[in-house]
Amino acid sequence: MPLVPYALTRPFLFGLDPEQAHDLTLGALARIQHTPLICAVSQTRVDDPVTIAGIRFPNRVGLAAGLDKNGRCIDAFGAMGFGFVEVGTVTPKAQPGNPKPRMFRLPEANALINRLGFNNEGLAVFIANVKRSRFRQQGGVLGLNIGKNAATPIERAVDDYLIGLDGVYPHADYVTVNISSPNTKNLRELQSDEALDALLAALQDRRLTLASQHGRKVPMFVKIAPDLEDTQVQVIAATIRKNGIDGVIATNTTIARDKVKHLPHGEETGGLSGAPVLEASNRVITLLRAALGREVPIIGVGGVMSGADARAKIAAGADLVQLYTGFIYKGPALVPEAASAIKKGR
């Protein structure tokens, strides 16, 4: 267990503006991660190895993208017992994101709403941070998540994703293509049939070139939304198969508000994450698993607040599980709780 229980720090953090608390926490983690003070948050990693998409994961629980957009705290999160850590979303150029305020807590629902908008320091800073990290050398798996700049027209989105893939490829255990954030205008249009096919075909073609250059094939995953009709999920699954994509991350945040609209901030614009997304995310996972069969990996994310929720993700068809909002509400103890629950449940 960490030397500093999260129960002691959460009241202070939750007394701050959500984004201020987020920035303060990341700043502190970045400062201590390569010092003896990291013992304050360190936990033993649950040993439950599994090989997915040709990658050996130390356990089935990872950190979802979005918490550490610039890859500043990879080693700090790794010390908390995650089997894998995914950072980003990174865009080719630095961008400030959407106007503040843009993050809201809904504690009655164990939920967050954010409309950050891929705020990040750009690809060059991101790669420099990744190269300084030691997590991969210590046996952890590192995923790097790429997106497009807000100023890039949607018809030129492929260009940004290719720049991102070129940049992160040498440093990633897997690459995630984020086409499902609701906070970048028109981004979710890339989930449509023709647009997705064109994007994935271009990325797959570039990956073949990069694999030849670097002497290794880096798996590529696509992150999709929970707000998809059954037929849309079928089309996405078929397009993923057609283009030889290695797996799917399901799901991103939701734009639905039916479970929180009665709460303070419940109708703020942005993506809703946390407990209210669990059911919708698991529905998409179940549909994907039926459409993809067993051979295409699925990483399940959305609404994992407990070990039981993590097991439910696996039961729905996921191979691996990621945490985000549950980690914010429950703290680092959720990592071994989820990993142990999955291990015991198999």
The closest of 43, 208, 223, 224 to 143, measured between CA atoms, is 223
DSSP string, 1-62: --SS-HHHHHHHHHTS-HHHHHHHHHHHHHHHTTSGGGGGT--PPP---EEETTEEESSSEE
Residue where the block lists tokens 């030889």: 244
Catalytic residue from among 181, 192, 212, 281: 181
Report which secondary-structure segment, H or E, holds 174. Answer: strand 174-178
DSSP string, 85-139: EEEEEE-SS-B--SPSP-EEEEGGGTEEEE---S-B--HHHHHHHHHH--TTTTT
DSSP string, 176-197: EEE---TTSTTGGGGGSHHHHH
Active site residue 181: yes
Residue 303, Ramachandran bin (φ over 0: left; ψ between -120 and 50: alpha; else beta): left
Beta strand residue intervals within 236-309, DSSP E: 247-250, 271-274, 298-301
The closest of 307, 311, 316 to 281, measured between CA atoms, is 316
Compute the distance between CA of residue 251 and CA of residue 104 in angstroms, rounded to an integer.
Answer: 20
Q: Assess contact for 218 and 55: CB atoms under 8 A.
A: no
What count of Cα atoms within 13 Å lies in the side-chain half-sphere of residue 121? 13
* The two structure tokens encoding residue 211: 């694999």
Chain centroid to Cα 203, Å, comes to 19
Taking CA atoms, 60 is separated from 57, 82, 111, 263, 342, in Å, by 7, 8, 23, 33, 8
Burial class (CB in 10 A: 0-12, 13-18, 19+), 49: exposed
Kindly list the catalytic residues: 181
